[in-house]
Amino acid sequence: MTEIRIGAVAEAPIDQLLVEKLSDPQTIEHLVRLLDKLENVTFFLDMLENFLRRGPEIADSINDVVVMMRQSLSKPEYVARLEQALAAVRRMQEFLDSPQVQELFKSDVLDVRAVQLVGKVSRSMIQASTEASQTGAKRIGLLGLMRALTEPELQPALNFVLHFARNLSKELGDA
């Protein structure tokens, strides 16, 4: 067996130290965890080795980008575009920070149901406008209006209008 000597003091044989260290439960646990992750460790080391091998190439690429940026920024049109973009971003931020927009975000206007309803109303208005322009202006009297009110396809819209009127009156009364 090999013995380790430091100065005049004799140490325990190295194999005995190794056996003691390897028999320690904490060392065993660490070794098992390391062996479980050995594939990841070798993959990481391979990536690191490839990265270090390509270091000069990466540095050259970064240098080329810096040179290109310096050349671009020396042209007045690029500087003007950059300034315009920054001014636009500032204006958008001012707009978003305005009390009106903040109040809009707090309101129910942007509620999904409200947006869907506005979409339905918009599509209905466009379709009604198209149909009215194709058929021409018809004169509808009181009896014609009363007859139209009984049509089944108008009932959901009439029901909506009545509920809307009631709720709007409540909102306006509370205002």
Reported as a single tens digit per residue, the pLDDT across 5-60 is 554 445 668 888 888 888 899 998 988 888 888 888 888 888 889 888 888 898 99
- pLDDT confidence of residue 10: 52
Tokens of 55: 């270091």
- The angle at the Cα of 153, spanning 149 to 170, to the nearest 5 degrees, equals 65
Tokens of 32: 């098992």
Residue range 88-109: mean pLDDT, rounded: 91
Q: What is the pLDDT of residues 146-164, one digit of tens each?
A: 898 899 999 998 998 999 8
Supply the pLDDT for residue 107. 86
Angle between helix axes 25-36 and 14-23 (nearest 10 degrees) is 80
**How big is the CA angle at 112 (ends 109 and 117), to the nearest 5 degrees?**
75
Residue reference for tokens 């204006």: 91
What rounded mean pLDDT belongs to the chain? Answer: 85
Within its chain, how far is the Cα of 98 from the centroid? 23
pTM of the shown model: 0.41
Long-range Cβ contacts of 106-109 (<8 Å, 24+ apart): none
**pLDDT of 54-90, one tens digit each?**
888 989 999 998 888 888 777 778 778 888 999 999 9
Three-class SS of residue 13? coil
Domain boundaries, the chain: 12-53, 55-97, 108-132
pLDDT of residue 12: 67
- Residue type at position 103: E
Closest to 16 (Cα-Cα) out of 4, 31, 29, 30: 4
Range from 2-11, 100-109, 133-142, 147-156 carrying the lowest mean pLDDT: 2-11
What is the per-residue pLDDT for 51? 86
> What is the spatial distance between Cα 28 and Cα 36, in angstroms, rounded to a whole number?
12
Range with the poorest average pLDDT among 8-22, 98-112, 124-138: 8-22
* Strand-pair category, 5-6 with 9-10: antiparallel
